[in-house]
Structure 1
Amino acid sequence: MKHLVNQWENIVQLVQNIGGEGYLYVDSVATEDEIVMTERKLDVKLPLSLKEALLGVSKAVDVCWEFPDELIVPKPYKDNSFGKLQWNLHELEVLCDERGQKRLLIHHVGNGDLITIDVADDQPDGEVYYWYEDESTEYLLAKNVAHFLNNLTTLCLIGLEVEQVELFLSSEGLCADNPLALKWIKWFWSLGKKPVIDYSTTGDILRLITHLGEIRPKQMMHLTQMDRSEVKKELLTSSLLENGWHRALLLGELFGSEIREWVLSLWEGVDENLLKERSYLTAKCLPIHIGLPLVIKFVEGQHMTGYEAFHHLSYFRANDVIQWMTNYATLPFEGWDKLFAASGPTWEDLTQWLTSDEKRHMFIAINAIGALVSFRERICFADRLAYGEKPFTIRNLPNSLQVAKFFEEFKQTGRGRNRYHYIDAFLHLLTSMR
């Protein structure tokens, strides 16, 4: 079995070479005395091929690998983006199933299930099983440890969660020579022969964004270097990008006013699944004097809550939204506070709303202070695309002494006292920015 270690090294090295993570630890081999002591402690005879592995390979092994998350794994194998195998002579345990049959636990699977070996008295080299944590189900993995390790290694040390092994199971356990297994093995080893992340076409990049579930700066950079007409065509017509929000962000960021007429056409009908996307594109691609009235009319017509309105009007980052909110925003404040914070409030806006006789204005404004602090900590690339690079702040701020004086006087009124921690956090932020 010593040849297994060389194969594990090759597997880990390949994954590391393509930008993934890999780790291999192989302890010294076990001694006969250690085997005897373990058998006495557990009151079982260790299976023959397990002893062969302990005496010939190592008494403790820990090997794992994980592909870079940019790598798109073929669909049949989508769960096989990582692999892991462990055993340790000194951590072996004996369990009993509901029939009282003894099982030797050799590996804890990441999802809580177990890899066990049958250690019944009449099984000198017992079968290896995948055993559900609740003991309700089991799958045969191999007729003994030797077959288990050889087939698992041939399969490039696939992970041992049930979703990862079930593709390769037969009535005799793990199978490394059925068509699915052979295709997997060929694909895995081909990774060392070509670039694993393909940025050669717009379609490749859109597929990668769908795979990742997010837009990242690197993919955006590559799209800006592609033929613009091709990118626009793919984004407008292709189904490769499954997430409508991602499609809208890319169109708005890459093309802006160039797609003005197309964005206007979105208002000729109603796609209930793309309402937020339409509002974002309207803010990004149309002049504000055209786009903002369209979205405000839609928000009013739908009688939206604060949270709903936020997801349609916040992309404008326009102070005109606050002026509209003066009459329209209501309690509860949730959502309206974030919209106030996102819409370029001035110091005059903030102080007027905080000192307003209308309770709704005061509650929205004081909670908007907390939202401003939260927005300042925004780091998600997609959010920066949605809201732009303009910082979330209060415009026309006086000097810090005047700001502190105003808030001290405001606190003395006792209004909104359970939100004063937002004021303190905002003052701390101002101090740190000086």
Structure 2
Amino acid sequence: MSVMTFQHKLEQWQSQWSELLESLRHKGADVFHTWEPPVTEKQLTELEQKLGIALPDELKQTLAVASEAWMGWTLQHTSLVPFDANGDWGWSFQTLDWLDLWMVEDADPTRYLAFYHAHNGDSLVLDMHVQPQQPAVLSWNHETGEFQFLAPSLSEFLERVTMLYGIGAESWQYEPFVDYSGLNMNHPHTLQWRKWMDDYLHLTLEKANGTLEELIRYAQMSGEADEPLRAAFAAYEPELVLHAWQERIEQESDRGVREALMEYAGDICCSYAADWVRSLWKANSGERVNASILAYLTARCLPEQEGLALVFNELEQMEQTSRLNGYTACAWLKPFTSRKVIEWMFLGQRVSYPYDGWDRLFACSAPSAEDIWQWLGGSTVQQQVVISALAMLENVQTIFPEQAQLQHTLVLLEQQLDKAVTKKEKNLVNGAVHALNKL
């Protein structure tokens, strides 16, 4: 590649990168972008003297465009992103140096020139031994010390990583797309990823509205079942909608994505998916879907009384073999946001130390002022659960619609503060008082 051609490509890539990041930002992704002024001839000369080599032409030209370029993105709905992908790519004059291989015996200290460092400690490097003027790009895993061939040159790497929408730079990010030739643009995973990202960036509800298959694909891209999307699905027979979701779920090989699709199916189909959810409960425990997914679908699709009965029974069976912990109970019962959960906890005297998880479950189960007073008058652990939960409440004004209710609660908390012995207990009460005094 000639000097002018590479410079022209750098300009094209910069334009593509800027357009990509702007498009992702509009889609709600978190993006970052640093583009520093180019290096000077003096800086380049001093760096070459420090490194003891002449820098490859492509690297020089890259630094002449920007001394440092740091770009990346993270999508919000990570559960549905293929390969757990995120974006991270660039280069840096400031950190350009020989890779430190102190842990490798007899390693050549002047072979691998690191031009970019990922957040996790992995690095992108140039192999300066094979072709010093056009070195290959490798990924270095800082935990294993292993190298992974990515491209035969810096220009080829930038071309390929651009086609992959900037994926990287932690070494595991490249693994689905790599073979003996490096990042392979014809690899099945590459084609799958590029198709997914193209849909994510360009598929609209208007374009997807023609078929259920496309609507489901749009739901994957949008990441939420908002009113316009619900309305689009409502134009079809509910049985057809559920069947289409079930087919899509069965086709998905990635368990994480499959379970996320099940959540979306529950959001869209609601009570029409009740029999399907009941069938999930009948599966053997080892074949069931993730507990949090099953709990979510149960709360979303079954009548509350039926759904809670199933979950209560599940948890009570667990209690037969070991004491139920708050995190497990919260995972199963949080989706219901029901006061009946608070009653189940209180009457069964289920909360215990450590109470982590129980406080979160109390806070998200639509407690009333009367519930809070009852727990403040309960056992020591019940008191600490509700006091901790008060600092987590998001609907305080709904719980205490009258000022007198709030004042009575504050009086009860002052009594708790008087009884507190340890600094931790006092801080817990003060946190609850501070949260309520914000009203």
Superposed displacement of residue 107, structure 1: 0.5
Superposed displacement of residue 191, structure 1: 4.7
Q: Which of 386, 390, 410 in structure 2 is aligned with 1:404?
A: 410
Local SS of the residue matching 2:111: strand
Counterpart mapping for 1:221-300 below 5 A? 221-227=228-234, 228=236, 229=238, 230-235=240-245, 238-239=248-249, 242-244=257-259, 247=262, 250-251=265-266, 254-256=269-271, 269=282, 271-272=284-285, 273-274=288-289, 283-284=299-300, 292-293=308-309, 295-300=311-316
Distance 1:3 1:286 in 2: 60
How far does the alpha carbon of each residue in 1:224-258 deviate from its partner, in whole angstroms, 9 at most, with x for none? 432352433334554167454763575267534x5
What residue is the counterpart of 1:86 in the other structure? 91
Superposed displacement of residue 106, structure 1: 4.5
Q: Which amino acid aligns with 1:45?
A: I
What residue is the counterpart of 1:354 in the other structure? 376
Q: Is the 8 A contact 1:15 1:65 kept in 2?
A: no
Distance 1:127 1:166 in 2: 21
Gaps of 5+ in 2: 1-5, 26-30
Q: Is the 8 A contact 1:92 1:104 kept in 2?
A: no
Q: Is the 8 A contact 2:114 2:125 kept in 1?
A: yes
Q: Which of 6, 13, 30 in structure 1 is aligned with 2:11?
A: 6
Alignment: residue pair count: 400
What residue is the counterpart of 2:57 in the other structure? 49
Q: Is the 8 A contact 1:30 1:58 kept in 2?
A: no
Q: Which amino acid aligns with 1:247?
A: M
Distance 1:309 1:72 in 2: 23
How far does the alpha carbon of each residue in 1:113-134 deviate from its partner, in whole angstroms, 9 at most, with x for none? 34444557x9763633524547
Superposed displacement of residue 46, structure 1: 0.6
How far does the alpha carbon of each residue in 1:346-380 deviate from its partner, in whole angstroms, 9 at most, with x for none? 44443344334xxxx34213312322321428xxx
Superposed displacement of residue 25, structure 1: 3.3
Distance 1:282 1:432 in 2: 35
2:405 is the counterpart of 1:372: no
What residue is the counterpart of 2:28 in the other structure? none
2:115 is the counterpart of 1:107: yes
What residue is the counterpart of 2:133 in the other structure? 125
Larger radius of gyration: 1
Instruction: Identify if the C-alpha distance between structure 1 residues 197 and 404 changes in structure 2 by more than 3 Å, giving closer, same or farther.
Output: same
Greater RCO (Cα-Cα under 8 Å, separation 6 or more): 1
Distance 1:34 1:252 in 2: 58
What residue is the counterpart of 1:381 in the other structure? none
Gaps of 5+ in 1: 378-389
Q: Is the 8 A contact 2:68 2:91 kept in 1?
A: yes
Distance 1:373 1:410 in 2: 15
Superposed displacement of residue 400, structure 1: 3.9
Q: Is the 8 A contact 1:148 1:174 kept in 2?
A: no
Distance 2:343 2:81 in 1: 52
Q: Which of 45, 49, 54 in structure 2 is aligned with 1:40?
A: 49
What residue is the counterpart of 1:383 in the other structure? none
Q: Is the 8 A contact 2:98 2:111 kept in 1?
A: yes
Distance 1:160 1:265 in 2: 42
Q: Is the 8 A contact 1:29 1:54 kept in 2?
A: no
Distance 2:100 2:283 in 1: 61
Local SS of the residue matching 1:432: coil
Counterpart mapping for 1:127-166 below 5 A? 127-130=135-138, 131-133=140-142, 136-139=145-148, 147-150=153-156, 152-153=158-159, 156=162, 158=166, 159=168, 161-163=170-172
2:431 is the counterpart of 1:425: yes
Superposed displacement of residue 418, structure 1: 4.5
Q: Normalising to structure 2: TM-score of the pair?
A: 0.67
How far does the alpha carbon of each residue in 1:11-38 deviate from its partner, in whole angstroms, 9 at most, with x for none? 224414633557473744643x554443
Distance 1:324 1:283 in 2: 16
How far does the alpha carbon of each residue in 1:234-285 deviate from its partner, in whole angstroms, 9 at most, with x for none? 34554167454763575267534x5556666667x35532566565555555
Local SS of the residue matching 1:398: helix
Q: Is the 8 A contact 1:370 1:426 kept in 2?
A: yes
Local SS of the residue matching 2:11: helix
Superposed displacement of residue 166, structure 1: 6.0
Instruction: Identify if the C-alpha distance between structure 1 residues 327 and 94 changes in structure 2 by more than 3 Å, giving closer, same or farther.
Output: closer
What residue is the counterpart of 1:328 in the other structure? 348
Q: Normalising to structure 1: TM-score of the pair?
A: 0.67
Local SS of the residue matching 2:249: coil
Q: Which amino acid aligns with 1:39?
A: E
Q: Which amino acid aligns with 2:12?
A: Q
Local SS of the residue matching 1:102: coil
Q: Is the 8 A contact 2:311 2:333 kept in 1?
A: yes
How far does the alpha carbon of each residue in 1:69-109 deviate from its partner, in whole angstroms, 9 at most, with x for none? 6799996xx57753522142x65434576344523624123
Instruction: Identify if the C-alpha distance between structure 1 residues 399 and 17 changes in structure 2 by more than 3 Å, giving closer, same or farther.
Output: closer
Instruction: Identify if the C-alpha distance between structure 1 residues 286 and 391 changes in structure 2 by more than 3 Å, giving closer, same or farther.
Output: farther
Local SS of the residue matching 2:202: coil
Distance 1:169 1:263 in 2: 39
Distance 1:291 1:166 in 2: 42
Instruction: Identify if the C-alpha distance between structure 1 residues 417 and 373 changes in structure 2 by more than 3 Å, giving closer, same or farther.
Output: same
Q: Which amino acid aligns with 1:332?
A: S
What residue is the counterpart of 1:60 in the other structure? 67
Distance 1:245 1:54 in 2: 41
Instruction: Identify if the C-alpha distance between structure 1 residues 414 and 160 changes in structure 2 by more than 3 Å, giving closer, same or farther.
Output: closer
Instruction: Identify if the C-alpha distance between structure 1 residues 204 and 226 changes in structure 2 by more than 3 Å, giving closer, same or farther.
Output: same
Question: RMSD of the alignment, in Å?
Answer: 5.0
Instruction: Identify if the C-alpha distance between structure 1 residues 422 and 116 changes in structure 2 by more than 3 Å, giving closer, same or farther.
Output: closer
Q: Is the 8 A contact 1:106 1:117 kept in 2?
A: yes
Superposed displacement of residue 299, structure 1: 4.0
2:35 is the counterpart of 1:15: no
Q: Is the 8 A contact 1:71 1:197 kept in 2?
A: no
